[in-house]
Amino acid sequence: MVKLKDLAEKSGFSITTVSRALAGYKDVNEHTRQQIIEIALEMGYQPNMVARQLRARKTHTVGIIAPSASGRFADDYFSELLMSVGHAAAQRGYDLLVTAKTTADEMDAYRRIVGGNRVDGMVIARTRRRDARIAYLRAARHPFVVSGRAAPDEESDFPYIDADSQLGIRWILNHLTGLGHQRIALLLPPDRVAFTPYRLAGYRQGLEDAGLSYREAYVLNSDLSRSGGQQAAHHLLDNYPEITAIVACNDLMAIGAMNAIQTRNMRVGQDIAVTGFDDITAADFAHPRLTTVRQPIKEIGQRLLEMLIQIIHQIPLEQPQVLLSPELVIRESCGAGQQRKEAVSPVRE
């Protein structure tokens, strides 16, 4: 490994001069610089990043910790966010440090990464109630940004970007009720997820908009996973066969629900409508009848990183809390015309 010292010896100048020549300082003879640059090229010099980091107490790296559940590593929302943050970081000359941890040792990872000065800032992925990660980073006075607000009854006194999922779910409900649906189920994530109340609120608003009454049994909490959606859908269809539509809070759950439906020899979008949330790449074509709400994940990632870099550089943010609008994506083949009439049963309460 070739270092400054080697260039110094080869060129006859001191380490200091070599360092400054390469760094582009003006107080070095132009001829000397050329000489040194040539030697550096010739010897294939690459500055040791770790030494630089130690010296500068800056890493030019941002960290993100993947919530690694049991079976799968993370959902598509997370990996999509990861890639968009990584891309944005690369554009700004930052690298991305990824650590996968189960919820158990998650805080250890934060302490190690953040306390160990491995990164200049952190991206937190999915806000939770009384989020320990946020509490820790705030106490440590370490730069961070968050994807997703706090729950409505907590204070979102941290920089975040979020999509207005309450509005998104309400739109979905409006769409479904407009198609004649009256018995609509909702698959919610566990309560510890901060966005859960927003989506429930959107659901209730949507029912209200259509003059439908809220029925608690139609709302289920389960994992934000495929199997979570699958189990929940089976439970619903076992006990409430009158249901004609299922609204899932992320694509993975929607896919699970679709799977359950197909297993029962029913047709998605015909016998029963399914909608998702997120609409990441693959799910975009997941099913020709899957209407979803699209979260601008790419934009969220990009803007999160820009925000984070401003915080790192202590540039005051003009807008530390951003609520982006989602987008309702209605699949052509999911229109009212193709909805089986008999699938829409009248309310009898």
Partner DNA sequence: CTGTTAGCGCATTCAT
Partner DNA sequence: ATGAATGCGCTAACAG
Q: Specify the pairing of strand 160-163 against strand 144-147.
A: parallel
Indicate the residue among 206 and 229 with the shorter CB distance to its own copies. 229
Under the binding rule (CB under 7 A), the answer on residue 47 touching DNA is yes
Under the binding rule (CB under 7 A), the answer on residue 37 touching DNA is no
Residues 6+ positions from 41 with CB-CB distance below 8 Å: none
Residues 6+ positions from 263 with CB-CB distance below 8 Å: none
| Residue 28 interacts with, from DNA, its own copies, none (CB under 5-8 Å by kind) | DNA
Q: Are 20 and 5 in contact (CB under 8 A)?
A: no
Q: How far is the CB of 99 from its own copies (least distance, A)?
A: 5
DSSP state of 242: T
Q: Are 5 and 43 in contact (CB under 8 A)?
A: no
Binding site for its own copies (CB under 8 A): 1, 44, 46-51, 53-54, 59, 61, 66, 68, 72-74, 76, 79-80, 82-84, 86-87, 89-90, 95-101, 111-118, 226, 251, 255, 258-259, 262, 280-288, 333
Residues 6+ positions from 211 with CB-CB distance below 8 Å: none
Q: Which of 174, 131, 147, 130 is CA-nearest to residue 64?
A: 147
Under the binding rule (CB under 7 A), the answer on residue 22 touching DNA is yes
The backbone torsions φ and ψ at residue 110, rounded to the nearest 5 degrees and listed phi first, read: -60, -45
Distance (Å, whole) CA 284 – CA 335: 16
Options 9, 42, 54, 98; binder of DNA; rule CB under 7 A = 54
Under the binding rule (CB under 7 A), the answer on residue 313 touching DNA is no
| Residue 27 interacts with, from its own copies, DNA, none (CB under 5-8 Å by kind) | DNA
Q: How far is the CB of 67 from its own copies (least distance, A)?
A: 11
| Residue 327 interacts with, from its own copies, DNA, none (CB under 5-8 Å by kind) | none
Question: In the complex, which residues of this chain contact DNA (CB under 7 A)?
Answer: 1, 3-5, 12-17, 19-20, 22-23, 26-30, 32, 47-48, 51-52, 54-57
